Structure 1
């Protein structure tokens, strides 16, 4: 099975204080995964740098997409603590998307990506729709990688295909259309968010005329977490 990737965006909203949200995420939600499941290779959280909502992003590298159906993981949502169950019901938004790995431009000596030692401090995320099949997206990815290698301040890009998603929260309409998300994702690691505005980056991350960027977000690192998979918990 291919590598997996879990991306969750969240907005606490009026019913959840930021302090409560952070305490839950840092001391319950993340440790239940990273401290106990070797399948969770890395985990990091980011805050919005663009003043848009959702305000919070969590990302996790997963060893295998089969993890998303494994009992060791699914039981965490099925058997939430009373505290977590209550808090999740009060959130304005919890948008959970699971992905299958497509391609990686390659690790960089400049950062460790999502590991606690020398983590990437800034992300640019692109949600993408592109006509055609997965081969068309892979071709788009290959072209983008070639162009991005010449952009100063760019570190690494990985691309993914969405395999499942669920939005919950007080802000989510009951209309099934609200659950539709773009099929593909590109996550760019950069040394500065000024890279997002460079003409070379804009051109490189939008190669060709067929891909449609549905949403672009910029993020600041909040925290990269240790994990049992890394042997540093």
Structure 2
């Protein structure tokens, strides 16, 4: 199976303080995954730089999409601690989306992406739809990579196909199917400064031929890149 990617956006809301949210994420939620599951290759969190909600983003590189169905991972949600179960119920939004890898422009010497050693400081996320099947999106991805190489401040782009998603939270009406609809495709752009997102060169290069329907564009600042068992840079008990 192809490599996987997990992307989660969250908004604490009025019922969860930022201090409580950060403590849970940093000291319980992330360690349960990165400290114990070798399938989680990297993990990083970002805060919104565009003043939009949701205001928090977490991203994880996964070795195989089969991980999303493996008991070692699914039990983490099925057997949440009382603390986590209570907090998740109070969040304004928790939007979890799993993806399979489509294409990668290639690693860069400028950053280590989501590895704690020189992590990427800024991300631009493009959620989009495109006419045709996955093959059309792969072609679009390759054309975008060629165009983006000429954009100053661009580092790396990876593209993905959404295979599952679930939104929960106090702002979501569970019975409303429209609330669960998300764009099929995702492009994650790593850049050196948040200003890259505003440049005409990036805008043109990130949608070659203007054939993609861009559903949402967000910009993010690095909050923290985490060590992991897979990287061999944490001590395990």
Q: Bin the TM-score by the shorter chain.
A: over 0.9
Deviation of the 1:197 alpha carbon: 1.2
Q: Which residue of 2 aligns with 1:218?
A: 219
* 2:21 counterpart SS class: helix
Deviation of the 1:140 alpha carbon: 0.8
Whole-angstrom distance in 2 between the partners of 1:218 and 1:161: 20
Whole-angstrom distance in 1 between the partners of 2:172 and 2:105: 35
* 2:208 counterpart SS class: coil
Q: Which residue of 2 aligns with 1:177?
A: 178
Whole-angstrom distance in 1 between the partners of 2:24 and 2:49: 22
Q: Which residue of 1 aligns with 2:42?
A: 42
Query: For the aligned residues, what is the CA RMSD?
Result: 0.5
Q: Which residue of 2 aligns with 1:51?
A: 51
Q: Which residue of 1 aligns with 2:7?
A: 7
Deviation of the 1:207 alpha carbon: 1.1
* 2:209 counterpart SS class: coil
Whole-angstrom distance in 1 between the partners of 2:117 and 2:7: 21
* 2:186 counterpart SS class: strand
* 1:189 counterpart SS class: strand
Q: Which residue of 2 aligns with 1:162?
A: 162
Larger mean Cα displacement after TM superposition, 166-175 or 113-122: 166-175
Whole-angstrom distance in 2 between the partners of 1:136 and 1:212: 13
C-alpha distance after superposition, 1:94-121 (max 9, x if no partner): 0000000000000000000000110000
Deviation of the 1:202 alpha carbon: 0.4
Deviation of the 1:146 alpha carbon: 0.5
Deviation of the 1:173 alpha carbon: 2.4
Whole-angstrom distance in 1 between the partners of 2:203 and 2:40: 32
Q: Which runs of 4+ in 1 moved over 4 A?
A: none
Matches within 5 A, 1:140-151: 140-151=140-151
Deviation of the 1:10 alpha carbon: 0.1
Q: Which residue of 2 aligns with 1:87?
A: 87
Q: Give ranges in structure 1 of 5+ residues lacking alignment.
A: none
Q: Which residue of 1 aligns with 2:210?
A: 209
Taking structure 2 as the reference length, the TM-score comes to 0.98
1:129 and 2:108 are equivalent in the alignment? no
Deviation of the 1:210 alpha carbon: 2.1
Larger mean Cα displacement after TM superposition, 33-42 or 127-136: 127-136
* 2:117 counterpart SS class: coil
Matches within 5 A, 1:106-117: 106-117=106-117
Q: Which residue of 2 aligns with 1:232?
A: 233
Whole-angstrom distance in 2 between the partners of 1:119 and 1:209: 30
Whole-angstrom distance in 1 between the partners of 2:130 and 2:203: 17
Whole-angstrom distance in 1 between the partners of 2:209 and 2:168: 35
